[in-house]
């Protein structure tokens, strides 16, 4: 703590500012990705084994959600069921398309026995464009396991964040 004690007001403020800058930069990068990809959640983690052998639990997916991209049967989309937070990564198996571009589609996990109607809202049998978070464009295997661990053991997440925060705040930057 010797470094900290020797600091004047300005330098102390700079330490706090440095911390805020790192948080802001991370935030800006994330929001930037959202703007560029058009998806509200451009990076998602595969949470279950319902898409094996294509995707495994813990894989990281990169999504885009361009408005004019058509959704075709056979493609893998990430969607959210109305009222639920968790994104689901499954394959489109059936589509009904109107001339004006409106679509209703049905999804199913490759590794599941049945289609997703059991996951949809009560009385809902089809998904629509508005439920789509994005379509998978690329992936990194295993990297998402860190997120899964942090969600399963929240204490670990808070401890990690606290240590990182303390390090940035206390280590003196030029």
Partner 1 sequence: QWKIDDKPVKIDKWDGSAVKNSLDDSAKKVLLEKYKYVENFRLIDGRLIICTISCLFAIVALIWDYLHPFPESKPVLAFCVVSYPLQMGLIYPKREKSIFLVAHRKDPAGMDPDDIWQLSSSLKRFDDMYTLKLTFISGKTKQQREAEFTVSIAKFFDNNGTLVMEAYEPEVSKLHDSLAQERKTK
**In the β-sheet with 127-128, what is the strand arrangement from edge to edge?**
43-45, 60-64, 132-140, 76-80, 87-97, 103-108, 127-128
- Residue in 3, 39, 68, 116 annotated catalytic: 116
Minimum distance, C-beta of residue 15 to partner 1, in the bound complex (Å): 11
96 part of the active site: no
3-state DSSP call for residue 36? Answer: helix
133 in Cβ contact with 65 (< 8 Å): yes
And the tokens for 89?
């990564």
54 in Cβ contact with 110 (< 8 Å): yes
- Residue in 90, 115, 131, 152 annotated catalytic: 90
41 part of the active site: no
Check binding of 125 to partner 1 (CB under 8 A). Answer: no
Pick 25 or 125: Cβ nearer partner 1: 25
* Segment near partner 1 (CB under 8 A); pick from 8-16, 92-100, 135-143, 154-162: 8-16
Check binding of 82 to partner 1 (CB under 8 A). Answer: no
The alpha-helical segments, DSSP class H, found in the chain are: 2-5, 9-37, 145-152, 154-170
Pick 24 or 125: Cβ nearer partner 1: 24
Pick 110 or 128: Cβ nearer partner 1: 128
Pick 38 or 49: Cβ nearer partner 1: 38
Which one of 57, 137, 157, 172 is in contact with partner 1 (CB under 8 A)?
A: 172
75 in Cβ contact with 127 (< 8 Å): no
Check binding of 32 to partner 1 (CB under 8 A). Answer: yes
Minimum distance, C-beta of residue 125 to partner 1, in the bound complex (Å): 26
The C-alpha atoms of residue 137 and residue 29 are separated, in whole angstroms, by 19
- List active site positions: 50, 90, 116
């Amino acid at each position: 703590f010797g470094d900290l004690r020797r600091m004047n007001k300005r330098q102390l403020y700079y330490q706090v500012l440095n911390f805020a800058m790192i948080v802001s930069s991370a935030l800006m990068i994330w929001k930037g990705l959202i703007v560029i990809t058009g998806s509200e959640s451009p990076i998602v983690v595969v949470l279950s084994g319902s898409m094996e052998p294509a995707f495994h639990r813990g894989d990281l997916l990169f999504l885009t959600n361009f408005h004019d991209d058509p959704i075709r049967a056979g493609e893998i989309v990430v969607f959210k069921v109305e009222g639920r937070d968790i994104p689901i990564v499954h394959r489109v198996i059936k589509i009904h398309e109107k001339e004006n571009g409106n679509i209703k589609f049905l999804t199913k996990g490759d590794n599941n026995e049945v289609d997703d109607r059991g996951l949809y809202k009560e009385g809902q049998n089809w998904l629509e464009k508005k439920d789509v978070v994005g379509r998978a464009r690329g992936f990194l295997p295993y990297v998402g396991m860190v997120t899964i661990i942090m969600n399963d053991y929240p204490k670990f997440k808070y401890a990690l964040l606290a240590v990182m925060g303390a390090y940035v705040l206390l280590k003196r930057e030029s």
